[in-house]
Amino acid sequence: MPQAVFRFYGSLNDFLIPARRQIEFSHSVKDRASIKDAIEALGVPHPEIDLLLVNGDSVSFAYRLHNRDSISAYPHSESPEIDAISYVRPKPLANHRFVLDVHLGKLASYLRLLGFDVLYQNDYDDDVLAQISSQQQRILLTQDIGLLKRSIVIYGYRVRSSNPKAQVREVLDRFSLHGTVAPLKRCPRCNGLLEPVEKQTIDHRLPHFTRLSYHEFFECQDCSQLYWKGAHHGRIQQLIEQFVDR
């Protein structure tokens, strides 16, 4: 059986068994196997890879392996210093929109609070998640490595932390989103867009204390939930201070 030498860099090591992390290792590969299949068989889902070099040359996922090939795989944050055009990096997205796996509900509402367009329903199955990600060019966030290995998934990231606030930081870091946070833009309940609304038109829907204390209101265009600057805004500002590097 042909042998190839692999070296994974940075956060790609998270997917390897400990004995293969941060070192070069030799591994048998099927004759003429695609590099994508060989790498995924070692545990690394393709959407996490930003650059692939074989014997020093940049290759695409379709590259077929040969005996004694030497493969270097880089994640997003590790590759910029390397002077090679990537043939695996997907087209940059004009804006970052997400679809989240069913167990990431808390992360979904935090990301919406920060203004991001996030599809999330607790009954989406794996087929639906992969299809939405593929058809709408949404970044699939999940902790399910098998789901990220599906070939139709182009934009995806495996959320590492189990803590929702740490997950927010991970996503903001990975996709460089610290500068694009926009509070009071999206409804954390349903992802609808918020629009300012005149107080007198919604006066009758407000609790007494809120009517007396607050003057700037926003209404969700989809579910009609009301938000107001003051209580909600304060909470959002606190979150932003926790999550965002200014």
| Structure-token pair, residue 97 | 């929109």
Evaluate whether 4 touches 69 at the Cβ level (below 8 Å): yes
- Cα–Cα distance, 37 to 52 (Å, whole number): 13
Min dist CB 217 to Zn ion, Å, is 14
Please, which residue, 94 or 182, has the CB nearer to Zn ion? 182
Residues 58-77 binding Zn ion (CB under 5 A) are none
Please, which residue, 65 or 108, has the CB nearer to Zn ion? 108
Min dist CB 192 to Zn ion, Å, is 4
Indicate whether 23 belongs to the interface with Zn ion (CB under 5 A).
no
Min dist CB 220 to Zn ion, Å, is 3
SS (H, E, C) the chain: CCEEEEEECHHHHHHCCHHHCCCCEEEECCCCCEHHHHHHHCCCCHHHEEEEEECCEECCCCCECCCCCEEEEEEHHHCCCCCCCCCCCCCCCCCCCEEECCCCHHHHHHHHHCCCCEECCCCCCHHHHHHHHHHHCCEEEECCHHHHCCCCCCCEEECCCCCHHHHHHHHHHHCCCHHHCCCCCECCCCCCEEEEECHHHHHHHCCHHHHHHCCCEEEECCCCCEEECCHHHHHHHHHHHHHCCC
Evaluate whether 132 touches 199 at the Cβ level (below 8 Å): no
Min dist CB 187 to Zn ion, Å, is 3
- Residue of 10, 43, 105, 192 that binds Zn ion (CB under 5 A): 192
Min dist CB 219 to Zn ion, Å, is 9
Min dist CB 233 to Zn ion, Å, is 17
Please, which residue, 52 or 187, has the CB nearer to Zn ion? 187
Please, which residue, 9 or 227, has the CB nearer to Zn ion? 227
Residues 130-189 binding Zn ion (CB under 5 A) are 187, 189
Please, which residue, 88 or 236, has the CB nearer to Zn ion? 236
Residues 215-244 binding Zn ion (CB under 5 A) are 220, 222-223, 225
Count of residues that bind Zn ion according to CB under 5 A: 8
Indicate whether 190 belongs to the interface with Zn ion (CB under 5 A).
yes
Residues 105-124 binding Zn ion (CB under 5 A) are none
Please, which residue, 176 or 224, has the CB nearer to Zn ion? 224
Give the footprint of Zn ion on this chain (CB under 5 A): 187, 189-190, 192, 220, 222-223, 225
